[in-house]
Amino acid sequence: MTALEVTLRAVAVLAAFLVLPLLVGQTEHKVMAHMQGRLGPMYAGGFHGWAQLVADGVKFVQKEDLTPAAADKRVFRFAPAIALVPYLVALSAIPIHPGVQAATLPASAVFVLAIIGVGIIGTLMAGWASANKYALLGAMRAAAQLLSYELPMVLAVSSVCLAAGSLSLAGIVTQWHWWWLAWQAPGAVVFLTAAVAELQRPPFDMPVADSEIVFGAYTEYTGLRFAFFLLSEYAGIVVMSFLFAVLFLGGWHGPYAGALGWLWTVAKAFAIAIVIIWLRVAWPRLREDQLQRLAWLVLVPLALGQLLLTGAVIAVTGS
Amino acid sequence: MAQPTTNRELTVGVGAGGLATADMVLNIGPQHPATHGVLRLRIVVDGERIVSAEPIIGYMHRGAEKLFEVRDYRQIVVLANRHDWLSAFSSELGVVLSVESMLGMEVPERAVWARTLLAELNRVLNHLMFLGSYPLELGAITPVFYAFREREELQAVMEEASGGRMHYMFNRVGGLKEDLPAGWLGRVAHAIAAVRSRMPDLESLIVGNEILRARTRGVGVLTPETVAAYGVSGPIARASGLNIDLRRDAPYLAYAGLFGEGGPGRVVTRTDGDCLARLEVLLEQTHVSLDLAEHCLDVLASLPQGPINVRLPKVLKVPEGEIYTATENPLGFNGYYLVSRGEKTPWRLKLRSASFNNVSVLSELLPGHLIADMVAILGSMFFVVGDIDK
Amino acid sequence: MSGLVPGILKGLATTVRTMTKPTHTAEYPDAAPELPPRSRGVIALLEENCTSCMLCARECPDWCIYIDSHKETIPATTPGGRDRQRNVLDRFAIDFSLCMYCGICIEVCPFDALHWSPQFEYAELDIRDLIQEKDRLGQWMPTVPPPVALDEHSADPAELAASNKPPRAAGLVAGGRPARVARPAAAATTAAEPTPPVEPMLPPRRRGPSAAELVARASDIAEQQENGGEAR
């Protein structure tokens, strides 16, 4: 790989990383609004408020960057980066078209899962360093949440890896057949649930529950640093949606996959992103202990059952 | 459920000194996204579990009772509809009913039915507000938009009659300020039908939602004994199994007929006393109030031509004496104790508002619950901070 | 159905169904809201009708009306006649940062100098600018809608009821709306005056088109003021 190619790939990932979350964010604005009988943003940019998030970004930049006096200043300032960067790295490992991915790794599934887990450290750092009771409560909730969803997620992914006989995301997509939709369905449900929990999105948004603990770990953040946390949430939706599309929906598989494979991946991921938005619109929030209960009593057994099913089918078919 | 409320210190054996943990004092409010208004709760938490809780009130005290004393009875109505801004019409009603009974005034029949209609519409408006805001506190963001769509429908007809969207200022001693606009009854009927037809949308997000049930069932159980001890009233008391409703038990306006034999009125009760029961009572009461309002419309259309108010003297003086008038406001009992010395202003006008008692019970209810439950309980107490602080 | 479909799916279904329906957002600055005539938006002053009697200022629950006036003597027009005095309004201002929009001032005004207008767009960046003087209050007059027709079951207007009834006894008598009735006596005295300084207007009847006429006249007056109001 030449230096130029590396640069090109890096720029492409960065561009996707900056554009796709905004796209998801704007979709959320509009889809949520219409689901609630509203219009959503209509002014910024002229046509149906397409530039609302750009305007928001400009606003965030203008805001004063505050660091509380009692905060652990270095950790406090560094936390948004820790939350944001893992998703950027994870995005680079996702294949969107046969042979097209920014970084080719032999065990990309493992890599992506590992790197996503780092993001939570950012939230923990933010919560602890803020020197704020609400932020601390939020960080503790986030940490507790991490414990409960990480295991079912890993189990669900390992089931797909087992089915494909590969730890590479591209390898999994290559092996994918449409009947996996039914075969891996329980695993898909587990993965989606765990993904929503990882993203701290409703109904699992307890770490940021605004009506309970103000804004959790992000309570004290303002301006650009706050915007980074928001961006990481939407980048997270993008990464999780792509992962779901690649693992469970067959990525680029679809009519004219040779030419339009990338479009299929993006379309599938976008559909998942809309589902994640939809859940937020329709459902209330669970309680932290109820999520733990759900994770250990439902998701983990379900994921283990899926693993068993995958193993059994492979053993029978002998593939 | 009762948790030991003594402060305890837990020592975990880490190293030589050990790691001391202490309970944390958390101030929820007066500015906090969960407290609609400026209610402040000082809670002591052990982790996320609440050890003790104390509602601190008064941030919105406006001295309403003292202000009443230097205002004539028309000016009092202006203030009376503001302490509980979600039950403005019902609160106005208490004042004018007190004055009317002190004067021994006969109110025209059309005024009685029109007042009943508007009071019930006001009740629906109030309940819709809480049916929207309570799920919001539990993290469901959509019901509030559906609830406000319906509120808008009813507020439009209220505004058409009274000129106000919240502070109607439509009651006068002896009746209403002016007669209803032509064709208004038809528009009210239309609005009620529209609200009714879209209520299932709102209900589908609340009723039977497993997450909402998980958050509210068995949470914040209020026993009938506690209800009685704290003077809790309204939908909260009825959710704990207390079958009390002044509209039926001490009827005023046209309620005697409405809640009588064969009338459309019925008192909604539940026995569980938890957050879910309180929400269910509110939801069912909304439907009952819509029934009542429809009945009032029918009666109003059938009444003969007549006035809607009583011609008053230039200076209205209430004869010497005292009276206590209680009304069933949307949030509970609302009482006015009026003492007059024959002046054009009251000598004393004591206000008993529902929210004050309903919030006082929080210190009893919260200990032992998690912070997340605190929000669920707080939201289900259906209070208006202006009504607490007065 | 409710027994079979899990509750959480019903919420999903409703939200999607709502997405397919028209929204109920009112695009406010672009689309003006339709407000009923009784809507209490702003208080308009018909200066010509004001006699500086101070009733509104005294009845206002939070004293947000400021009135200054002085007396002027009109010399007798006929020899041997008496000089007349009249109040000249110097200042009439409403502080809308204090106003509670109760409408008592409008109710008590015996000469219908104050009116509700549904206009509401008069927000200011400085709270002191919310004190509107009489010129500003007068500018709202053209926006005052005619009073609405009343319900078919409403009582007859007081004038009609009064003409059909024997003189009433003292005390509380049911019927009619308070105030707001034409005062034949007042009208007669002003008509008897040889040179009325400003033509007083009859208060609007609750029914009938007189209010539209009133609005038209008010706009005429506003124009006059603009053209040559300073001369006075």
Give the pLDDT confidence of C66-107 residue by residue, as tens digits: 998 888 888 888 888 888 888 888 889 999 999 999 889 998
Contact yes or no for A270/A241 (Cβ under 8 A): yes
**Amino acid at residue number B2:** A
Least confident of A118-127, B47-56, B81-90, C163-172: C163-172
- Residue C205 CA to residue C183 CA, distance in Å, equals 11
The shortest C-alpha distance from B201 to chain C (Å) reads 6
**Residue C150 pLDDT:** 85
User: Of B33, B139, B371, which is closest to A137 when you measure between CB atoms?
Assistant: B371
Q: Let me know if residue C123 belongs to a domain.
A: yes
Tell me the count of B-C CB pairs closer than 8 A: 135
- Residue A64 CA to residue B163 CA, distance in Å, equals 43
**Cβ–Cβ below 8 Å for B163 and C148:** no
**Residue A192 pLDDT:** 92
Prior bond of B30 cis (ω within 30°)? yes
pLDDT value at A51 more than 60: yes
**CATH number for the domain harbouring residue C69:** 3.30.70
- Residue B104 CA to residue B98 CA, distance in Å, equals 10
DSSP-assigned letter for residue A299: I
**Residue C3 pLDDT:** 55
DSSP state letters, C182-213:
--HHHHHHHHHSSS-SS---PPPPSSSTHHHH
**Residue B19 pLDDT:** 53
Q: Which residue has the higher pLDDT, C230 or A225?
A: A225
C131: enclosing H helix or E strand = strand C131-132
pLDDT value at C1 more than 70: no
Tell me the residue range of the domain where C141 lies: 36-76+84-150+177-227
Closest C-alpha to A25, from A76, A1, A60? A60
In this prediction, residues A106-110 reach a mean pLDDT of 84
10 Å Cβ neighbour count for C25? 17
* CB proximity A38 to C under 8 Å: yes
DSSP-assigned letter for residue C166: P
pLDDT value at A288 more than 70: yes
Q: 3-class SS at B181?
A: strand
Tell how far CA A278 is from the center of its chain.
Answer: 15
- Residue B99 CA to residue B92 CA, distance in Å, equals 11
- Residue B220 CA to residue B208 CA, distance in Å, equals 19
Partners of B21 in the beta sheet? B10
In this prediction, residues A239-254 reach a mean pLDDT of 87
In this prediction, residues C192-216 reach a mean pLDDT of 42
Structure tokens at B78: 């202006």
**Residue B120 pLDDT:** 92
**Cβ–Cβ below 8 Å for C15 and A283:** no
Subunits close to C (at least 3 CB pairs below 8 A) = A, B
Structure tokens at B72: 């004539």
Domain count, chain A: 1
Which pairing describes strands B348-352 and B171-172: parallel, antiparallel, or unpaired? unpaired
**Residue C175 pLDDT:** 44
- Residue B87 CA to residue B146 CA, distance in Å, equals 20
DSSP-assigned letter for residue B44: E
**Residue A136 pLDDT:** 86
pLDDT value at C196 more than 60: no
Q: Which ipTM value was assigned to this complex?
A: 0.85
Partners of B40 in the beta sheet? B56
DSSP-assigned letter for residue B60: T
**Cβ–Cβ below 8 Å for A288 and B135:** no
**Cβ–Cβ below 8 Å for C23 and A283:** no
Architecture (CATH level 2) of domain B64-389 = Orthogonal Bundle (1.10)
**Residue A244 pLDDT:** 92
Contact yes or no for B283/B131 (Cβ under 8 A): yes
**Residue C2 pLDDT:** 46
Interface of C with B in 112-141 (CB under 8 A): 116
**Residue B209 pLDDT:** 86
Cβ contacts of A281 on chain C, cutoff 8 Å = 15
- Residue A211 CA to residue B136 CA, distance in Å, equals 8
Interface of B with A in 40-79 (CB under 8 A): 48
Prior bond of A203 cis (ω within 30°)? yes
DSSP-assigned letter for residue A206: G
**Cβ–Cβ below 8 Å for C27 and A39:** yes
Least confident of A255-264, C13-22, C84-93, C128-137: A255-264
Contact yes or no for B224/B242 (Cβ under 8 A): yes
* CB proximity A81 to C under 8 Å: no
Contact yes or no for B222/B240 (Cβ under 8 A): yes
Interface of B with C in 259-318 (CB under 8 A): 300-301, 303-313
Partners of B141 in the beta sheet? none
**Residue C165 pLDDT:** 63
Domain count, chain C: 1
**Cβ–Cβ below 8 Å for B372 and A206:** yes
Tell me the residue range of the domain where A303 lies: 3-317
Cβ within 8 Å of residue B61, ≥6 positions away: B389, B390
- Residue C36 CA to residue B183 CA, distance in Å, equals 13
Q: What is the pLDDT of residues A171-189, one digit of tens each?
A: 888 888 888 888 888 889 9
Which pairing describes strands C42-45 and B348-352: parallel, antiparallel, or unpaired? unpaired
Q: What's the pLDDT band for A65 if we cut at 50, 70, 90?
A: confident
**Residue A48 pLDDT:** 85
**Residue B14 pLDDT:** 44
B20: enclosing H helix or E strand = strand B19-21
Structure tokens at A172: 């999994």
- Residue A132 CA to residue A120 CA, distance in Å, equals 18
Structure tokens at B28: 């929820």
Measured distance between the N- and C-terminal CA atoms of chain C, rounded to whole angstroms: 78
- Residue A105 CA to residue B114 CA, distance in Å, equals 76
**Residue B190 pLDDT:** 93
Exposed/middle/buried for residue C221 (C-beta within 10 Å: 0-12, 13-18, 19+): buried
Q: Let me know if residue C116 belongs to a domain.
A: yes
What's the number of CA atoms in the CB half-sphere (13 Å) around residue B73?
30
Q: What is the pLDDT of residues A250-283, one digit of tens each?
A: 888 878 777 787 888 889 899 999 999 999 888 8
Closest C-alpha to B312, from B173, B176, B179, B115? B173
Q: Tokens 């057949």 appear where?
A: A177
**Residue C95 pLDDT:** 92
Q: Let me know if residue C20 belongs to a domain.
A: no
**Cβ–Cβ below 8 Å for B306 and C10:** no
Tell how far CA B35 is from the center of its chain.
Answer: 16
Contact yes or no for B213/B254 (Cβ under 8 A): no
**Residue C207 pLDDT:** 42
* CB proximity B161 to C under 8 Å: yes
Determine the residue among B211, B216, B217 to mutate to test chain A binding: the one whose Cβ has the most chain A Cβ atoms within 10 Å: B211
In this prediction, residues C39-60 reach a mean pLDDT of 89
Map out the domains of chain B as residue ranges. 64-389
Closest C-alpha to B382, from B367, B363, B362, B368? B362
Contact yes or no for B181/C150 (Cβ under 8 A): yes
User: Of B26, B139, B371, which is closest to A285 when you measure between CB atoms?
Assistant: B139
Q: What is the pLDDT along chain B (390 residues), one digit of tens a residue?
A: 444 444 444 444 444 444 556 778 888 877 777 666 778 888 888 878 888 888 888 888 888 888 898 888 888 988 888 888 888 999 999 999 999 998 888 889 889 999 999 999 999 999 999 998 888 888 888 899 999 999 999 999 999 999 888 899 899 888 888 888 988 999 999 999 999 998 988 888 888 888 888 888 888 888 998 998 998 998 999 999 888 888 888 888 888 888 877 778 888 888 888 899 999 999 999 999 999 999 999 998 888 888 888 888 888 888 888 999 999 999 989 999 999 888 888 999 999 988 888 888 888 888 888 888 888 888 888 888 888 888
**Residue B21 pLDDT:** 64
- Residue A213 CA to residue A135 CA, distance in Å, equals 8
Structure tokens at A214: 């103000």
